[in-house]
Amino acid sequence: MEREPLLSEEAKEQRGSGQEKEQNRYKQLLKRFQQIQPILLTLMILAIIGLSVFLVNEKMNVQRLQSSNSDFRKQIQALQVHDNLVIEKMQRIYRENENFQLRYGPIPARGGNADYPMKPKTVYLTFDDGPSEITPAILDVLAQHNVKATFFVTGNETPFGKEMYRRIVKEGHAIGNHTFSHKYGLIYASGDRFMDEVKRLDGLIAQETGVHTDILRFPGGSNFNGTLGIDFMRQLSRRCIDEGYDYFDWNVDSKDSEKPVQSKETITSSVKEQVSNKNTAVILFHDLSAKKTTVEALPEIIEHLKSQGFTFEVLRKGAYSVKFI
Ligand SMILES: [Zn+2]
């Protein structure tokens, strides 16, 4: 066994001082830790605060995204509604295009050398609101000039009214529905009320003339903006088409309804001016007892239209037509 070397006194001292040194270093470390402890705590608190701010911010971001998402949804819904309206308009254009092609042949492709079929200039004289005291005079002028027109009549159950329905049909004019009462408050109260008015007048016209009319004109026009608004008129016009009717507005206003009695000159010049740039003209006149100047203006208007090369036609279902909505 090897003997442990005896430590000299000096060596013992050295060892003792080594332990002390280690203790001192430990104390120093502890002291330093105690010094930096508040800094560490502060850092931790700051980290927690930072994290909380970050989380709150993220949550707000999510909420913001959710609300903008619902805004987007609303915009998409609005676009879909708009889309449906565009589709309806396109369908109408297709339908009119079909009518056009049925009458005038196929439309050649753009840019080709094919001759475009020239659509004949066509005019539709239309008289609203009769029968009235001036109906016989209107019919006389039309007969004298050998032209046909379209009468959008209202309900008149007097012997004279019935006689006028018969005369209109007998003389080769078209007869259309303008509602029985023509009272805006009644006819535009609801879709059902409107159709009741139309059917009631249809019955009377059929009973007197044997004609089951399938054309109509909305009092005030298809874009009449009454208490139920324009959306109601859109639904109503679609319903009329679904129920087998075609409706017609106008693109030339004789202005004979602007005043109780319009001057003959204004009626004539209004028509001449508005037909000047048109190939197809649907002219609005009124068949009411006070409208004597309308009758007076008619011969000059008809002669002018003839001189401009217009042919006179009557409206019928599917005719190339003017529709406000
Ligand atoms: Zn009317």
Tell me, what CATH number does 303's domain have?
A: 3.20.20.370
CA of 176 to the centre of ligand 1 (A): 12
pLDDT of res. 146: 98
Residue 155 near residue 204, CB atoms below 8 Å: yes
From 75, 105, 135, give the residue that closes a domain.
105
Domain count, the chain: 2
Beta strands in 8-153 (DSSP E): 122-128, 150-153
15 Cα to the center of ligand 1, angstroms: 125
Chain CA centroid to CA 64, Å: 33
Question: Are 141 and 288 part of one and the same domain?
Answer: yes
3-state class (DSSP) for residue 202: helix
199 or 74: which carries more pLDDT confidence? 199
Decide which of 33 and 115 is more confident.
33
Contact 268, 260 (CB under 8 A): no
Which range has the top average pLDDT, 13-22, 80-89, 226-235? 226-235
Q: Evaluate if residue 6 carries a pLDDT over 60.
A: no
**Residue 116 confidence (pLDDT) above 50:** no
pLDDT of residue 254: 98
Q: Could you tell me the distance, in angstroms and rounded to a whole number, from the CA of residue 287 to the centre of ligand 1? A: 9
Of the listed ranges 74-83, 178-187, 297-306, the one predicted with least confidence: 74-83
Taking the centre of ligand 1 as the mean of its atom positions, its distance from the CA of residue 204, in whole angstroms, is: 18
Q: Comparing 301 with 120, which gets the higher pLDDT?
A: 301
Q: Are residues 290 and 193 in the same domain?
A: yes
Residue 177 belongs to what domain range? Answer: 122-312
To 10 degrees, what angle do helices 135-144 and 159-170 make?
20
Question: Between 303 and 59, whose confidence is greater?
Answer: 303
Residue 110 lies in a domain: no
Centroid of ligand 1 to alpha carbon of 283 (angstroms): 13
Which residues, at least 6 apart from 127, have a Cβ–Cβ distance to it below 8 Å? 138, 149, 150, 151, 152, 285, 286, 287
- Cα of 279 vs centre of ligand 1, distance in Å, is 25
**pTM for this one?**
0.66
User: Per 3-state DSSP, what percentage of the chain is helix, strand, and coil (rounded to 5)?
Assistant: 55, 10, 35
- How far apart are the CA of 166 and the centre of ligand 1, in A? 20
Are residues 170 and 47 part of one domain?
Answer: no
One domain for residues 201 and 277: yes
- The answer on pLDDT for 33 being more than 80 is yes
The β-bridge partners of 286 are 128
Mean pLDDT across the chain: 89
